[in-house]
Structure 1
């Protein structure tokens, strides 16, 4: 896979992230662009798990607002789509709201 494809695949489910990670790890030439998008997509997946747990708790505690709380679970999907758009445009721009938090947080991606 080329760099652009690897960056895009990293945003397509956690399995796609694993495929992109191992594909990138085995390369001899490393690119900061791909590392950046691997970090961003992993950050969005972690954010997705956190949002799912929080909304599950909130729906259990306040069931009358379950419709509103369930809309929160769409946020990671929107962030993934925005990440794919950034990766396809070959820019290293963080995803909105949470992207800057996950920049340079995963040291195992920087060791390449």
Structure 2
């Protein structure tokens, strides 16, 4: 069984890492730290997918919007790094600007 801090860190490493962390959490490694970071990383993944779909629409019409897509993704990488650092240090620090939206929003993570 994985340690709660390990689950927290793994949850930020790709969707496969999130699934592994979630399965370990469900097996009995339940802790408020692991739950918090599972919620934060899942919320960030949803934001990444949705924002990239939305940002790709203008790119089809004008290549200038690629610059906005790159800036958007750089900001998302910074948020990802912030979450990863928070998980590594074992603290429940929400992602800047968006993290408070994810607290207790994903009911399947109990």
Please say whether Structure 1 and Structure 2 have the same fold, judged by a TM-score greater than 0.5: yes
SS in 2 for 1:109: coil
Which stretch shows the higher mean deviation, 35-44 or 58-67? 58-67
- Give the Å deviation of 1:98: 0.9
Aligned to 1:16: 17
Aligned to 1:61: 61
Q: Once the two structures are superposed, what CA deviation does each residue of 1:16-49 show, in whole Å capped at 9, x if it has no partner?
A: 000000011111x521111000000000000000
- For residues 1-112 of structure 1, the aligned pairs below 5 Å read 1-27=2-28, 29-110=29-110
Contact 2:52 2:69 in 1 (8 A): no
Return the alpha-carbon distance in structure 2 between the equivalents of residues 45 and 69 of structure 1. Answer: 16
- Regions of 4+ moved over 3 Å: none
Return the alpha-carbon distance in structure 2 between the equivalents of residues 65 and 30 of structure 1. Answer: 43
Aligned residues: 109
Give the unaligned 5+ runs of structure 1: none
Q: Relative to structure 1, is the Cα distance of residues 30 and 66 closer, same or farther in structure 2, using a 3 angstrom cutoff?
A: closer
Q: Once the two structures are superposed, what CA deviation does each residue of 1:63-102 show, in whole Å capped at 9, x if it has no partner?
A: 2232233221222222111101111111111101110111
Return the alpha-carbon distance in structure 2 between the equivalents of residues 64 and 4 of structure 1. Answer: 42
